Amino acid sequence: MEKLTISDLLKFKFVSNISFSPNGKLVGFVVHTMNEEENNYTSNIWILDTETEKMFQLTSFGKEKSFIWLNDESILFSEIREEKDKKRMENGEMFTIFYKINVNGGEAEKYFEVPFLIRKIEKLSDEMFVLLSTYSKYIPDFSNIEEKDKQEILKKLKEEKDYEVIDEIPFWSNGEGFTNKKRARLYLFNLRENKFMPITDELTNVHHFDVSQDRKKILFVSNRYENKMEIRSDLFLYDIENNSLEKLTHEEPFEYVYAYFLDDSIIFAGSNMKKYGINENPKFYLLELSTKNVKLLTPEFDLSVWNSVGSDCRYGSNKNAVVDGEYLYFVTTEWNSSYLNKIGKDGKIEKLTNKGGSIDGFDVKNGKIYFVGLRDYKLQEVYKLEPGCNEKQITEFNEWVLKERKISKPERFTFFSDDGVEIEGWIIKPVDFDNSKKYPAILDIHGGPKTVYGEVFFHEMQVWANEGYVVMFTNPRGSDGRGNEFADIRGKYGTVDYEDLMKFVDEALKRYPFIDKDKLGVTGGSYGGYMTNWIIGHTDIFKAAVSQRSIANWISKFGTTDIGYYFVEDQHLANPWDNFEKLWWHSPMKYANKVKTPTLFIHSDEDYRCWLVEGIQMFTALKYFGVDAKLVIFKGENHELSRSGKPKHRLRRLQEITDWFNKYLKS
């Protein structure tokens, strides 16, 4: 077997968008691979026959990132295929072209075009669709404009690219760029008449929508704002036949995670955020459409309803909730794994999977369940859920990794914090481990902070294990999966979480004497980058550090990032005017004059979540005080560099980190 390398990332396959055909006989999904030559990802639709379990690749252009089923034999997907359309897009024209393809064979044919950038589409009938599109009042509808006038408008839009006019917050968003006065807007689209009718107004941002079983009503969650977006949302019901809109919001403020039709009722998950702030775990509610009465179904429920198990081996999007028959199927994160569950009108929750790992996406049809998962320390594959919580692996896209590469699996242990809280953590031994040797070690800290590490494949960790490192990782307080109390570190950043991390390192050194205590490194991204910055200002036990997409100064983060103005106040119970000193006390910049650890900073210039200025501040401080430091800036990347950045950039990032640790921990 060969050692796993950084470049092996190029050969991995990632699976997303798993979806049943209407009759449940076929399952479609998208397979993504990296294209190093073009420095992007190729995405193609695959089809699985659930009766024969045979599958085949349906598309081959490499750009089909998502799709919906039109009927039992046809699929609809968006793509720009023709050169003339590519030039239109390059010239600044906004539109989406949909293609239709038969799963039984034949070429894809252009089905229709809409003058918007579409985020989500759902079929109501052969003639009617619901569209969720990106809307800006500054960009006109090109569908009814003469070619001469269109060129003049495009010329003006091109000139406007030299300016950004901002009159609201947030004015930009990670992964989307400048978003001032841009909204996700709902439309009805009549294909036969080529007509569009807006359901929501110019200032309403739609987060989620669902269509009733009879295709006559649309349920959606939205947030309308002007000048400043508040952290709250509303629930609306739109009657298609009567063209009427009804507000169903039952409590204000309230944050609806999602809402679905369930027979003659609506089941939704959400929180009023009163006790634990914006990260408070949601509860499930049932709203009776006939009376509009709302009933709390799960008063004792205390888990997140999404998958927060981290990995750097995913790409694309997946469903995390589905209604089938009398049940809502949903994902929870519990300790270090995510699980599939279902809930009915009675509020009883049944856990459908019991195996550790990660449920990355799933679909349900007539009780049949297929999901994309990370299982048995493998990369993503498609699985079928069978009776008795049994799972059957269907695909083998990434089987070669465990068969052909050296992999070291995590070893879990638990310990107790000084105040009696149980904490879990892991080490990964170097490949070809020799108990008589001493090994350098890297502490890897997850982001969030409300996410978790688990026993799933992590490429960067395996690369370091193949480089001869022990890799250490843990879920300190602030992490997901253990309820609100465990996750709630508001006002405590850099205290209990720091203590848990340091206690974990102490425990690892005590339990595993082959770890060289004089050759320790630390790294992490986002919140993990914050903790890396914090750690090097409070201890010198680490001989090298790599701070990625980090936070250095809560005061500057408040005023510059997309979530800063509400996240900072919520998480620190302070703002720059009411308690400046508290924000400064929790800022790593306050302690930068005490840093002795050589540190590499990695940031992306379009990361508006943890903006570049955060890394620049820490880098400048370390250089000012004579500490060896380096800053690597990735152009055209955002906060997702390590997870969905351009292939070459992802390779370069990991190479920079590995080289830095090799420089200081192997000499």
Task: Place 158 in a pLDDT band, splitting at 50, 70 and 90.
Answer: confident
Q: Give the domain ranges of the chain.
A: 422-665
Q: In which element (H, E) is residue 378 found?
A: none
Helix H or strand E encompassing 532? helix 527-536
Lowest mean pLDDT among 130-139, 380-389, 532-541: 130-139
Whether the CB-CB separation of 628 and 657 falls below 8 Å is answered with no
pLDDT higher than threshold 80 for residue 146 = no
| pLDDT, average across residues 634-658 | 98
Tens of pLDDT, residue by residue over 311-341, are 999 999 999 999 999 999 999 999 999 999 9
**Distance of alpha carbon 79 from alpha carbon 62, whole angstroms:** 10
Q: What is the mean pLDDT of residues 365-393?
A: 97
The pLDDT of residue 155 is: 83
Please tell me the predicted confidence (pLDDT) of residue 161.
85
378 contacts 394 by C-beta, under 8 angstroms = no
Lowest mean pLDDT among 110-119, 158-167, 321-330: 158-167
Question: What whole-number distance in Å separates Cα of residue 321 and Cα of residue 241?
Answer: 27
Mean pLDDT of 172-192: 96
- Write the single-letter amino acid at 637: E
152, pLDDT greater than 90 = no
Mean pLDDT, range 427-440, rounded to an integer = 97
Q: Is-contact 34 10, C-beta < 8 A?
A: yes
CB 273 within 8 A of CB 253: yes
Q: Which residue has the tokens 């310990």?
A: 415
In 506-627, DSSP assigns E strands to: 515-525, 544-548, 599-604
Residue 256's Cβ-count burial label (10 Å; 0-12, 13-18, 19+) is buried
Mean pLDDT within 371-392: 97
Q: Is the pLDDT of residue 153 over 90?
A: no
Q: In this predicted structure, what is the pLDDT of residue 464?
A: 98
- Residue 140, pLDDT above cutoff 80: no
Across residues 122-139, what is the average pLDDT? 94
Give, in degrees to the nearest 5, the angle at Cα 612 between 551 and 626. 75
Q: What pLDDT is stored for residue 194 in this prediction? A: 92
Question: Does residue 123 surpass a pLDDT of 80?
Answer: yes
Q: Are 223 and 234 in contact (CB under 8 A)?
A: yes
Predicted confidence at residue 138, as pLDDT, reads 83
Quick one: residue 391, left, alpha or beta (phi over 0 = left, psi -120 to 50 = alpha)?
beta
Q: Dig out the tokens for 117 from the structure.
A: 């950038």
Residue matched to tokens 């019901």? 237
| Tokens (6 digits) for 69 | 């089923």
What pLDDT, on the 0 to 100 scale, is given for residue 145? 75
Looking from the CA of 647 toward its CB, the CA atoms found within 13 Å total 18
Give yes or no for residue 667 having a pLDDT over 90.
no
Gap between the Cα atoms of 325 and 327, Å rounded: 6
Take residue 157 and report the two structure tokens written for it: 């839009």
The Cα–Cα gap between 496 and 502 comes to 10
Element (DSSP H or E) covering residue 443 = strand 439-445
Average of per-residue pLDDT across 628-652: 98
- What is the Cα–Cα distance from 242 to 12, expressed in whole angstroms? 50
What does the pLDDT average to over 375-382? 98
Taking residue 127's Cβ as centre, other Cβ atoms within 10 Å add up to 11
Q: What is the pLDDT of residue 560?
A: 97
Q: What is the pLDDT of residue 69?
A: 98
> pLDDT class for 257, splitting at 50, 70, 90?
very high
Average pLDDT over every residue of 641-653: 98
Residue 139: which pLDDT band, with cuts at 50, 70 and 90?
confident
Conformation bin of residue 599: beta by default, left when phi > 0, alpha when psi is -120 to 50: beta
**pLDDT tier at 12, thresholds 50, 70, 90:** very high
Question: Above 80 in pLDDT, residue 381?
Answer: yes
* 239 band by pLDDT with thresholds 50, 70 and 90: very high
Fold annotation for 422-665: Rossmann fold (3.40.50)
Mean pLDDT, to the nearest integer, of 268-290? 98
Contacts of 98 (CB under 8 A, 6+ apart): 76, 77, 78, 110, 111, 112, 113, 114, 121
**Type of residue numbered 568:** V
At 91 the pLDDT is 86
- Reduce the DSSP state of residue 145 to 3 states and report it: coil
Q: What percent of the chain has pLDDT over 70?
A: 100
Tell me, rounded to whole angstroms, the distance of Cα 357 from its chain centroid: 17
pTM confidence score: 0.97
